[in-house]
A and B are shown apart, each in its own frame.
Chain A
């Protein structure tokens, strides 16, 4: 699946949706496919401060453990409890209901656009 055009991406296979000063973060379709069935999601507490690039959560599949990195610096304003309760939505709808956290950021780092991310995952 080609990466949706309206999102930004990181080299750690996360997507970022920028709306005002809030970034919604999830993992890409490529990432969920590589992980396999997601069976456990751990997310940071709402209100916690996250540093750019810090490990803030975990996405476990039956076979491996993926880390959730903060793609922006700021404060967690929402964590997707549905993804914690029913981790399979991360596989089934990674760009939609399977989002993971929303972070209010102070400064936006450089992120990849869809074309650059697709290039990263197809080489």
Chain B
């Protein structure tokens, strides 16, 4: 597959970005120090280009019912302007992808999928929706996504001149009121300098923030306006390296690490995302209702001492003894920039799931004790 280049590639290169291949996309990994980018998001704000994410739109009288069948949650119950985290399951109850679904109108939904899964999700949605009165459009190539994340995000969006709310005042003087009142996991249609975009209060960093879905040929103007407006607030462009440590601290699962077709959502602590009580059938319902096998490994948080990180793939043992039994494996891990100690997520035998349990991680030949810890590792202070 040829490299896919985000619409902002030149802007990133000019800002000194190092690029990484992510699901065939050349995306910014970091611009300078990923630790500085991480801290900026925790203390001020960071600006992310997430144009590699998949955007699939369902439109039609039965779009909600189609989604109820296609994904694990009850999307038809969402009010317009609301969003929900949900899962696409396979028949065996395994995870095809995790998704954010935004109801952007009475008969219109936006499904945001991981870049690596965008095509599969679009194809599955088409297939699963075929019996319903709805149409499915894969708009991934026609939508850019810019996220402003951090405690100063609202101030920064308001400082960037040119936002307006759809159906609101053309001069935008109602923007502070509307966006200030926009709750988490809600979205509103708007404009930036006369061009349409979707303003959503969502994110993947554990901070307050906005995700802005716009046209690719509009992304540069929006990005540059936010960089300029955000600089006095401490906003910096941030790459995927910082995004990964931010979401790990926030205890958010990542497809391909914590989520896969091989494991049921219940084992990842995501039983609440699977609505067994909603009317009708949905793909993966029977397997979800049957539940995970006895003794299935479960996802836990781990916290260690020192500075040496347990990383994805490292094995877990019941003790430091050489003949100790293997009890699981790390799915994500890093030295937490905020906490200054190693943190990880791992699947372990359920006997070790209780917070306070000690497990041993084999870090390249040396066993390091880690303590099972409730997720998330980090929660922002909520002001509202």
Q: Which residues of A contact B (CB under 8 A)?
A: 33, 36-37, 39-40, 42, 58, 60, 62-63, 65, 87, 91
Q: Which residues of B contact A (CB under 8 A)?
A: 18, 29-30, 33-35, 38, 241, 244-245, 307-309, 311, 334-335, 337, 364
- Interfacial chain B residues near A42, Cβ < 8 Å: 308
Which of A33, A37, A39, A63 contacts B307, CB < 8 Å? A39
16 more contacts with CB within 8 A, not counting A36-B30, A36-B241, A87-B307, are A33-B18, A36-B33, A36-B34, A37-B35, A40-B308, A42-B308, A58-B364, A60-B335, A62-B34, A62-B334, A62-B335, A62-B337, A63-B29, A63-B241, A65-B364, A91-B33
CA A91 to CA B34, docked complex, whole Å? 12
Give min CB distance, A109 to chain B, whole Å: 26
- Interfacial chain B residues near A87, Cβ < 8 Å: 307
- Interfacial chain B residues near A39, Cβ < 8 Å: 35, 307, 309, 335
- Interfacial chain B residues near A33, Cβ < 8 Å: 18
CA A87 to CA B35, docked complex, whole Å? 13
- Interfacial chain A residues near B30, Cβ < 8 Å: 36
Q: Is the CB of B245 within 8 A of A62?
A: yes
Q: Is the CB of A40 within 8 A of B18?
A: no
Q: By CB atoms of chain A within 10 A, which of B18, B38, B309 has the most?
A: B309
CA A37 to CA B308, docked complex, whole Å? 14
- Interfacial chain B residues near A91, Cβ < 8 Å: 33
Q: List 7 A-B contacts (CB under 8 A).
A: A36-B29, A36-B241, A37-B35, A42-B308, A60-B308, A62-B337, A63-B34
CA A89 to CA B259, docked complex, whole Å? 36
Residue of A at shortest CB range from B240?
A63
Residue of A at shortest CB range from B306?
A40
CA A39 to CA B18, docked complex, whole Å? 19
- Interfacial chain A residues near B33, Cβ < 8 Å: 36-37, 91
CA A40 to CA B334, docked complex, whole Å? 11
Give min CB distance, A30 to chain B, whole Å: 12
Give min CB distance, A56 to chain B, whole Å: 13
Q: Is the CB of B335 within 8 A of A65?
A: no
